[in-house]
Amino acid sequence: MSFEFDGKVCIVTGGTLGIGHAVAERLLQQGASVVISSRDAAKGDEVVSSLTKAQSLPYSRLSFFRADICNPAEVRSLFAYTLERHGKCDIVVANAGFMASKSFTEELDEGTDDWMNVIQGNVIGTLLLAKLAIANWHKHKIPGVVVLSSSLSGVYPNQIPHHCVAYPVAKAALCQFVPTIAMTLDRLAKRQGLSTSPIRVTALLPGFVWTAMWNKMGRGAASDTAPSDLENRSNSAWSVLAKAVGWTPMSKIVDAYITAVTDPTTSGKCYMVMGTAGPMVPYPDPRITPTYEKALEAMVGVSGGGGSAVKGRGKARRGKGKL
Ligand SMILES: NC(=O)c1ccc[n+]([C@@H]2O[C@H](COP(=O)([O-])OP(=O)(O)OC[C@H]3O[C@@H](n4cnc5c(N)ncnc54)[C@H](OP(=O)(O)O)[C@@H]3O)[C@@H](O)[C@H]2O)c1
Domains in the chain (CATH in brackets) are 97-287 (3.40.50.720)
CB atoms within 10 A of CB 22: 20
The predicted model gives 19-32 an average pLDDT of 97
Q: Measured from the CA of 21, which atom of ligand 1 is nearest?
A: 43
Identify the pLDDT of residue 108: 84
pLDDT for residue 230 is more than 70: no
125 lines ligand 1 (CB under 6 A): no
Distance CA 305, CA 87 (A): 54
Distance CA 3, CA 112 (A): 49
Higher pLDDT, 123 or 211: 123
20 lines ligand 1 (CB under 6 A): yes
Identify the pLDDT of residue 201: 97
Q: pLDDT band at residue 222, thresholds of 50, 70 and 90?
A: very low
Lowest mean pLDDT among 63-77, 140-154, 252-266, 275-289: 275-289
Identify the pLDDT of residue 286: 54
pLDDT for residue 322 is more than 50: no
**What is the rounded average pLDDT for all residues in the chain?**
83
Identify the pLDDT of residue 159: 67
> How far, in whole angstroms, is CA 39 from its chain's centroid?
17
pLDDT for residue 320 is more than 80: no
Identify the pLDDT of residue 284: 58
**Ligand 1 pocket test, candidate residues 25, 39, 162, most atoms within 8 A of CB:** 39
The predicted model gives 110-125 an average pLDDT of 92
Distance CA 153, CA 227 (A): 22
Q: Measured from the CA of 206, which atom of ligand 1 is nearest?
A: 6
3-state secondary structure of 148: strand
The predicted model gives 37-54 an average pLDDT of 96
Check the CA dihedral 310-313-318-323 and report its sign: negative
- Dihedral, CA of residue 186, residue 262, residue 41 and residue 133, to nearest 10: -20
The tens digit of pLDDT for each residue in 260-276 reads: 999 999 999 999 998 76
Distance CA 145, CA 11 (A): 11
Between the ranges 91-95, 194-198, 312-316, where is the mean pLDDT highest?
91-95
Kindly report the protein residue whose alpha carbon is nearest to atom 46 of ligand 1.
97
Give the number of C-alpha atoms closer than 13 A to the C-alpha of residue 70, restricted to the C-beta side: 12
The predicted model gives 6-34 an average pLDDT of 97
Q: What is the CA radius of gyration of the chain?
A: 20
Identify the pLDDT of residue 112: 83
Q: What angle do CA 74, 137, 178 make, to 5 degrees?
A: 80
> How far, in whole angstroms, is CA 142 from its chain's centroid?
25
149 lines ligand 1 (CB under 6 A): yes
For residue 284, say if its preceding peptide bond is cis, omega within 30 degrees of 0: yes
Q: Are 197 and 186 in contact (CB under 8 A)?
A: yes
CA of 59 to the centre of ligand 1 (A): 25
The tens digit of pLDDT for each residue in 120-152 reads: 999 999 999 999 999 999 999 999 999 999 998
